Structure formats: C-alpha cells, structure tokens
Structure 1
Amino acid sequence: MWDLKTGELLRTFAGHTRGLACVQFDGKTIVSGSSDQLIKVWEADSGQCIQTLRGHKDLVRTLHFTGGRRAVSGSYDQTIKVWDIVSGECTLDLKDVHTSWVFDVQFDTSRIVSTSQDQKIVIWDFSKELHVSDID
C-alpha cells in the first residue's frame, strides 16, 4: 500500500503464493484474488489477513466487493461464487452457466452480472424473492 501524496511505501501484504489477478479496496478492507485459487481479505490498517476464502479450482480472475459483508468472485473454473467475507463461507455457488473463463462480475442488492470468454453476459435477478434453493 502506497501513500499517493508522498509515494511512500506504507505496507506490504504477503500471503498469496502465486500472482494476483484482482484487488478491491474500500478504504478499510482489501480483497484480493489470485492464481493460487484463493481470495484473501486484509485489514488495510494493520496489514493482517483476516480471512482466506477457499473454493475455486482455478485462477480467481475477478471479484467485486462493496465494503459490506459480501463479495462475489469469478474464476477460470467457470463458476461465480458469493462469499460472506466475515465467516469465510461460500453462500452461493453458481455453476454450469458459463462454458469458459469468467472475466468480470458485478453485483448490487438484487442482481449479479457476469461476463465470460464464452461471449455471454449473464444476469441473475434475485429481486422477485428468489431463494438460493431455487437456483441449484
């Protein structure tokens, strides 16, 4: 982490064993995804890794985190996962939708949008009181 005004190195975050593919920072928490198949949640002030999220079987190419409890990730394993970053639990695992690498994910309070090398944009709309059990 760098001080943008002075250019001073403030902190180094070490923990992934392979290259980073995506990072998001909300001013307090940093969430990173890597080719080590892991997502790490960091406390920015201390540099401590407070959670390691395991479940993807390939490069974690993209993630979206908005500063709340939830993060959404997409992987070269062709899945989209929703995470509770406090408990470390994968709360939703969306499979068999994309047929190639997932390049981007975004979400808001009622939708998840993903894009893939398979040239599809997929939108999951949860605004009609769809329950997780209805998606499986």
Structure 2
Amino acid sequence: MSVLRVSNITKKFKDFVAVDDISFELKEGEILGLLGPNGAGKTTTIQMLLGVLSSTSGDISYFGKKLVTNREEILEKVNFSSTYTNLPWSLTVRENLNYISYLYKIADRKKRIETLTTSFRLEKLVDLEMSALSAGQLTRVNL
C-alpha cells in the first residue's frame, strides 16, 4: 500500500493554473522532494498535501484514505518539515511542542511529547529556548 498517492491534482486560482494535473505515489521508506523554479507550484502542492488548500480537481490519499474526508486522522501520522519553518525562538522546545499539540488537539499531550522527544533524542533539550538549538536540532523539533 502507498503511504501517499496523488492522482491528477490541479489547483486553479481564477484563470491562473498553479498546479496542473500532477500524479505520483510515495511508498513506505521513500523520501519525496519537490524541485522546480520559483512559481512552479511547489508550495501550493505542499499546501494541498497537508489539506491547507483544496485541490480544484484530483485526489490525495494517505494510507488508502482520502485526505478530504480523513484529514485529522491522517495528520496524526503525517508531518512536514521545511528549512524555513520557524517556531517562536523565545519559547522553549517544550513550550512550542505543547502549543502545537494543543492546536492539533493531541490527546494526552504530556505523554505524547515525552515519547516523541525521546524518539527524536531531544529529551535533554526540552527546556532550552529554540534560539539555542543547532539547525539539525531545530529540524528534529519541527518534525
């Protein structure tokens, strides 16, 4: 089964076609990169993959489930991290994770944060401000 299947998605803004009929499949263990010049539709595609924007046409499915009807369940298992993602630098790692888990309505936030900080080897960093972290540590927190 595919982790992600994108079938013929298109995104139009009035008469402008930002993403034109793209399809691809991502299997477990594979890494996806979107490459293209400025204005090619990379950010728009990512926003559709996360359900932030709706596609004009086409389907997006994760684990065989349609994103449009299962977004909350899917986002419990799927995440995205960009080099340009910035969490507030004046907050600690723990404060940021608490805030994000609140926004995503994560049940048992404290336990979930503890489990994930251990999995990502962040347990010694949770009380540091984001400004004190290296680029690699910031990426792990973002994930």
TM-score exceeds 0.5: no
TM-score by length of 2: 0.27
Structure of higher CA gyration radius: 2
More helix by share: 2
The answer to which structure has the higher strand fraction is: 1
Structure 1-normalised TM-score?
0.27
